[in-house]
A and B are shown apart, each in its own frame.
Chain A
Amino acid sequence: MHKYANPTQFMRIANAIYPWVAGLCLLLFAAAIPVALMFSPPDYQQGETVRIMYIHVSSAWLMMMIYGIIAANSAMFLIWRHPMASIAARASAPMGAVFCALALITGMLWGQPMWGTFWVWDARLTSTLILFFLYIGYIALADAFEDSERGDKAAAVLALVGSVNVPIIHFSVEWWNTLHQPSILKAGKEGVGSSVHGSILLPLFLMMGAFTMFYFALLVLRLRSELLAAKIRNARLSQIAGHSAAQPAE
């Protein structure tokens, strides 16, 4: 595993995977958007409003997955000092924040017609808002220091502390009474089951797959430009160093 901590090694693999990820993303979106927004049936209770779910659940899935990735990368950075890990975590944070905001906004637009309210302070909604603040805090803290290495460390610690929130968000609907409904997927003694009919579950899975591939494709692009920017910085620094070293000789 440590081999891939080397940026060159890592990017060789990332660049090789990129066209497949991007292609799969386009393919899944091409299938998911018409199926989810036009061809899938309305819900027996919610009618057409159920279509908000395809965006809402996919965004919520990504906000959780991306936070998990940030936390794992932060741990790798703190323990083994892998430079690639902190770059990947930093590059993921703005995307996680955007998907978290999307989940919150679509949730509010969905809650108003269904529940009769935009917002309540139940455990699921409150813990998701906390996740959004964690993302914002992470981004701000990572860039708050002159020395970017110190920013990496401080942000990594924040990401790890905040990771306690992820299982709380997931299980909040099981542990406590909430206005938010329980999970639609359940793994129990009788195996994995879903309370969603196949004709609604299929477009949801397509959309979640498309969102996930979108994140990975964007991540590779962001890592590429991040590494190029670092190269430019280093080239400038060595240029300046070269100049000042050359001066006394004049």
Chain B
Amino acid sequence: MTRKRRRLYFVLLGLLGLGAGAALVLTAFQDNVVFFYSPKDIAAKPVCEQRCRIGGIVVGGSLVKEGQNIAFDLADAAESVKVKYVGILPDLFREGQGVVAEGRMNNGVFVASNVLAKHDENYMPPEVAKALKDSGHWKEGEAPPTGIKDTGMNNN
């Protein structure tokens, strides 16, 4: 085996080991790497007794605003959670929109201290959005129809 050959194998083995190590570490810390939990996670185990973040879609028709007192339901495909929040909402916040709320569970209600809007990966001009809605391909409060089925909100 020439020295060049040996160095090639050494580099390849090193990268393989490094990749495997990184994969193991990231799987082990899976719970710490996620930025937010889904309503399904919260239904399954009591992860939000301490501060945490939950993310989901704001359920259509669930938003109640009285001044700065805000209540809405946050849902994924399986479960939904009631959220209460006092403060100012980001511009993108609306029903059918993905949001991330930071706070803790209190008697079955998630009391949020901060709400962030999650933007989705769909981009289109307003006329196209209007045409899709007018033709009935896209209902208000739903994710826009694209060639892609996974919206990225239901990863877990």
Query: Which residues of A are in contact with B by a Cβ distance under 8 Å?
Result: 41-46, 50, 53, 75, 78-80, 113-117, 120-123, 160-161, 163-164, 168, 173-179, 181-184, 186, 188, 190, 193-197, 199-201
Task: Count how many pairs of residues, one from A and one from B, have CB atoms less than 8 Å apart in the complex.
Answer: 136
B124 engages A190 (CB within 8 Å): no
Given the contacts A114-B90, A168-B22, A181 and B121 also touching, CB distance less than 8 Å: yes
Nearest first, the 9 closest Cβ-Cβ pairs linking A and B are A116-B90, A41-B125, A44-B129, A122-B35, A182-B152, A197-B124, A193-B147, A196-B123, A195-B146
**Chain B residue nearest to A191 in the complex (CB):** B147
Q: What is the CB-to-nearest-CB distance from B127 to chain A, in angstroms, rounded to a whole number?
A: 7
- B 60-75 binary contact with A (CB < 8 Å = 1; else 0): 0000000000000000
Closest B residue by C-beta to A193: B147
**Which residues from 98 to 147 on chain B have a C-beta closer than 8 Å to any C-beta of chain A?**
100, 115-130, 146-147
Q: Residue on B with the closest CB to A41?
A: B125
For chain B residues 1-53, which have a beta carbon within 8 Å of chain A?
A: 4, 7-8, 11, 14-15, 18-19, 22, 26, 30, 33-38
Whether the pair B124, A43 counts as a contact (CB closer than 8 A) is yes
Once A120-B116, A122-B35, A186-B148 are accepted as A-B contacts, the answer to whether A164 and B123 lie under 8 Å apart by CB is no
B123 and A53 contact, CB distance less than 8 A: yes
Q: In the complex the two chains form, is A176's CB within 8 Å of B35's CB?
A: yes
Partner of B121, one of A80, A113, A179, A195: A195
Do B35 and A123 touch (CB < 8 A)?
Answer: yes
Docked-complex contact B125 and A200, CB < 8 angstroms: yes
Number of interface residues of B (CB under 8 A): 47
Also in contact, A184 and B155, with CB within 8 A (given A116-B115, A123-B35, A160-B11): no
Question: Which of B19, B151, B152 counts the most A-chain CB atoms under 10 A from its CB?
Answer: B152
Interface string of B81-109 (1 = CB under 8 A from A): 00000000111100000001000000000
* CA distance in complex: A2, B92 (Å): 54
Contact for A44 among B15, B26, B125, B152, CB less than 8 A: B125
Contact A113 B26 (CB under 8 A): no
Contacts of B116 in A (CB 8 A): 115-117, 120, 179
Measured CA separation A197–B130 after assembly (Å) = 13
CA distance A80 to B120 in the complex (A): 45
**CB of A50, distance to nearest CB on chain B (Å):** 6
With A115-B116, A195-B147 given, name 8 new contacts (CB 8 A): A44-B125, A44-B130, A115-B118, A117-B116, A123-B35, A176-B33, A177-B34, A183-B121
Residues of B within 8 A of A188 (CB): 148
Within 8 Å CB of A122, what residues of B? 35
Which of A44, A116, A174, A179 is the one whose CB lies under 8 Å from B124? A44
Q: CB-CB < 8 A to B92: which residues of A?
A: 45-46, 114-116
CB pair B18 A161 closer than 8 Å: yes
Cα of A50 to Cα of B119 in the assembled complex, Å: 11
Query: A196 near B122 (CB under 8 angstroms)?
Result: yes
Closest approach, in angstroms, between the C-beta of B38 and any C-beta of chain A? 7
Q: How far is the CB of B77 from chain A (nearest CB, A)?
A: 14
Asked if A181 and B125 make an inter-chain contact with CB atoms under 8 angstroms apart, the answer reads: no
* B126: chain A residues within 8 A (beta carbon): 41-44
